[in-house]
């Protein structure tokens, strides 16, 4: 019953956007679609660990959703954003320094080669073909490549910077476009060969899809459904490579196990949320952090030691795993853990306002800065059913600063004047 209702709401979002020709990638629509779709999958109960939610869990789930949606509508009521003088939504890019933009994108690609080389040295061969692959793309990778792990996040920025330069609607230089398309393909291939973790591959590809939606052609409901099928297939392939679910080879994998692979990854986020919010009497509750856990995530060199000192959970959520090895959880857990019920009521509301403000700026005038920031932001919103690197959010801060710096340096005086 719960699955049927959740799936109905999710696909209503999808087809409502298709029938009325609305942008599917609006903040509220993406949030509702992804939350209900993944909840529907979890409630299929294909694994005994997925049990019915407690009342508190339902309150946190719907409370966070209501808070975010209200933030989206509050932004529309408060902000009155008008388009620039030009009626051409691509006018901002006419005076953009694309050669300098490509230079910075290439620097980001070179920085990615640092952790790639560390993985290669550890494996002795290309990591994708190494028996050590499961170690390289698991939590152990942090000990293998150390602080170079922060450079892995640059793959998203590199792919996005080259990706935006690949579209003829904004980049008039044909040779730079061809080079950018080649580099996008090269970056994705390099990721698959040297560090084929799910987030590192799927996040930049999702951002490229969002760019296609705004620069080329609106993505239809059929294409979105096809993309979901491809995503599931790619997920199974990567899960097998990681050997995450104790299946040694695809030849020995029964069809029910193949179906269970993506199901467990989705469902464990929800059963861990319920388990964390309603701990058993024999399990000590997580000590409150009052937001400090997230705050010190911005300071990577001391954040880990502070968590250990105060007994806070690490970024792998080991204390709230209902099943060993399945440690991911909805973003709502970290908000509740840090701020309690008040956080669930107000933190998503704040993000709803901020992301909708970016969306409104983007819809009126496609400026580079707002495009890149919104692309990253909406992919994170779509990933909130799972906790995506919440506790190392220093990386996100770096990406935001890098986007601001690069777009500022690549703007000419005329384009800066147009952007005001």
pLDDT tens for the 420 residues of the chain, in order = 898 999 899 888 888 887 877 888 899 999 999 999 999 989 988 888 999 999 999 999 999 999 999 999 999 888 876 655 455 556 667 778 999 999 999 998 888 888 888 888 888 888 888 887 777 776 666 667 766 666 676 777 888 899 989 988 888 888 999 999 999 999 888 888 887 776 777 778 888 888 888 887 777 666 776 766 666 666 656 555 555 544 444 444 444 555 566 788 889 999 999 998 987 766 666 667 777 766 666 665 666 677 777 777 766 777 788 888 788 889 898 888 888 889 899 999 999 999 999 998 887 777 788 888 888 888 889 888 887 555 556 667 777 888 888 888 887 755 444 444
Do 329 and 322 meet the contact criterion of CB atoms below 8 Å apart?
Answer: no
- Whole-Å CA distances, 374 to 218, 355, 383: 16, 7, 14
DSSP string of 222-274? Answer: HHHHHHHHHHHHHHHHHHHHHTTTS---GGG--HHHHHHHHHHHHHHHHHHHH
Question: Per-domain residue ranges for the chain?
Answer: 91-245
* Residue of 12, 215, 176 whose CA lies nearest to 98: 176
DSSP string of 201-219? Answer: HHHHHHHHHHHHHHHT-PP
Q: What is the DSSP letter of 196?
A: -
* Residue of 219, 209, 127 whose CA lies nearest to 166: 209
Confidence at residue 390, expressed as pLDDT on a 0 to 100 scale: 54
Contacts of 148 (CB under 8 A, 6+ apart): 114, 115, 118
Residue 401 corresponds to which tokens in the numbers above?
């600063």
Residue 51 corresponds to which tokens in the numbers above?
């049990």
Three-state secondary structure string covering 391-411? HHCHHHHHHHHHHHHHHHHHE
- Whole-Å CA distances, 231 to 74, 398, 419: 33, 28, 36
Q: What is the distance between the alpha carbons of residues 177 and 156, in angstroms, rounded to a whole number?
A: 18
Confidence at residue 231, expressed as pLDDT on a 0 to 100 scale: 64
């Amino acid at each position: 019953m719960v699955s049927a209702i959740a799936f109905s709401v999710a696909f209503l979002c999808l087809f409502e956007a298709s029938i009325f020709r609305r942008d599917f990638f609006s903040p509220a629509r993406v949030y509702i679609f992804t939350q209900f779709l993944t909840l529907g999958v979890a409630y299929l109960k294909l694994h005994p660990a997925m049990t019915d939610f407690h009342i508190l869990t339902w309150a946190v789930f719907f409370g966070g959703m209501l808070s975010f949606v209200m933030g989206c509508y509050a932004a529309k009521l408060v902000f009155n954003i008008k388009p620039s003088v030009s009626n051409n939504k691509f006018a901002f890019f006419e005076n953009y320094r694309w050669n300098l933009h490509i230079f910075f994108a290439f620097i980001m690609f070179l920085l990615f080669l640092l952790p790639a080389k560390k993985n290669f040295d550890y494996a002795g061969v290309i990591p994708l073909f190494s028996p050590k692959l499961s170690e390289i793309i698991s939590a152990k990778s942090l000990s293998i490549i150390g602080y170079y792990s922060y450079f892995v996040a640059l793959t998203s920025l590199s792919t996005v910077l080259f990706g935006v330069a690949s579209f003829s609607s904004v980049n008039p230089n044909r040779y730079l476009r061809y080079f950018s398309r080649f580099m996008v393909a090269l970056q994705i291939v390099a990721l698959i060969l040297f560090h084929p973790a799910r987030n590192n591959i799927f996040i930049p590809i999702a951002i490229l899809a969002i760019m296609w939606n705004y620069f080329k052609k609106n993505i239809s409901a059929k294409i979105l459904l096809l993309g979901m099928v491809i995503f599931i297939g790619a997920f199974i392939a990567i899960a097998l490579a990681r050997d995450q679910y104790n299946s040694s080879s695809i030849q020995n994998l029964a069809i029910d196990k193949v179906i269970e692979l993506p199901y467990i990854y989705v469902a464990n986020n929800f059963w861990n949320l319920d388990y964390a919010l309603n701990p058993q009497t024999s399990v000590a509750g997580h000590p409150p952090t009052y937001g400090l856990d997230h705050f010190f995530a911005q300071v990577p060199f001391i954040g880990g030691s502070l968590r250990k000192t105060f007994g806070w959970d690490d970024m792998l959520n080991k204390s709230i795993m209902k099943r060993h090895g399945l440690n991911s959880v909805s973003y709502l857990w970290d908000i509740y853990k840090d701020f309690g019920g008040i956080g669930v009521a107000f933190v998503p509301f704040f993000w709803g306002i901020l992301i909708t403000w970016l969306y409104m700026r983007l819809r009126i005038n496609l400026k580079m800065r707002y495009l890149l920031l919104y692309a990253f932001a909406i992919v994170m919103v779509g990933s909130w059913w799972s906790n995506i690197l919440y506790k190392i959010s220093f990386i996100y801060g770096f990406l935001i600063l890098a986007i601001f710096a690069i777009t500022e340096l690549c703007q000419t005086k005329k384009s800066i004047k147009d952007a005001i």
